[in-house]
Chains A and B, each alone.
Chain A
């Protein structure tokens, strides 16, 4: 019986009745959940303090993982006729993109937008200072940026994506995202991390892997199918048509029905930096104000303090026990 319980996380064996109890299988209380989120913040910022290069590498991997999803989204949505169903391409993109966050969370890599939410919970629970929070978010963004750009640059050299349907689709996505006004991008950035970080924070709510996968996959599905703006995904989505722009210009130069609208890296309409700036600003609000602050304020602070006290007593007792041994 004990062996069975040990194989399944979250189960305990009642010593008197010898029955398997499933109480730990249930989702955590809001207070235990928020304490777990703060523990993740502790681990992340501890890694940044003690092993900054490892933290940067984990952010590099996180940025690349997001772009695995962006590549798949581009691959499946090329050539889908909009008159068939206007939202069909978005749905296909979301369905293949959704596992990006799952692999980031299960591998323990860093995604800056998730860290904004975890870090703010850590700030509220006194695990890190404001200055540490800002530094962690900055380093996370740099690592994600390098990872995302590197992956997309390599991908843009792949022959498959030089075929006309994918060239046209990549450019179409790029023009749609960079052609929006600042306010349109900003509000879609807020909505993006509101959905995505709800999923990222709920990852810690349950104990079993299947629930974690489903909850985590929901976030990217919602933000991609919902046509939102995510700063790290957009680094890649917008870099691909820019890396391939000369090939695209050559491909459409003979077409009479295509107006060659060019993208650029700077600010202004059809600029990469225009989209990135307002996406980052929107993302920095959605996952913090509407997720981290709301979850933290919903948890009962007195019960949370009680959990901290109990943990301290357990640790103190454990220390005394070791001293006796």
Chain B
């Protein structure tokens, strides 16, 4: 099937989901490792 003009192009949706899953994993790992909030709220 030709998805060139379809809103459900599986390759593009696949890339989009994989990239955002990657950003989410990296982002959460980075936040947990460095905990910037604690440094800015330390008593």
Contact = CB atoms under 8 A, between A and B. Distances in A.
Contacts of B9: 182-183, 186, 278
Nearest to A311: B40
Given A285-B19, A293-B23, A274 B36 contact: no
Given A305-B34, A309-B42, A312-B40, A293 B16 contact: no
B13 to A, nearest CB: 8
Interface residues of A, number: 34
A308 B4 contact: no
Size bracket, chain B contacts: 20 to 34
Nearest to B37: A126
A274 B35 contact: no
Contacts of A277: 7
A301 interface: yes
Contacts of A186: 9, 12, 15
B1 interface: no
Contacts of B6: 182, 267
Contacts of B24: 130
Interface in A277-297: 277-278, 281, 284-285, 288-289, 293, 296-297
A285 B15 CA distance: 10
B30 A308 contact: no
A269 B40 contact: no
A304 interface: yes
Interface of A is mostly: helix
A113 to B, nearest CB: 15
B39 to A, nearest CB: 4
Q: Name which of A120, A126, A267, A277 has the most chain B CB atoms within 10 A of its CB.
A: A126
B16 A284 contact: yes
Given A124-B27, A267-B5, A274-B7, A308 B16 contact: no
Interface in A252-302: 267-269, 271, 273-274, 277-278, 281, 284-285, 288-289, 293, 296-297, 301
Contact of A312 (B4, B7, B12, B41): B41
B31 A123 contact: yes
Contacts of B4: 181-183
A69 B31 CA distance: 38
A268 B5 contact: yes
7 contacts: A124-B31, A127-B36, A267-B6, A268-B5, A297-B30, A312-B39, A312-B42
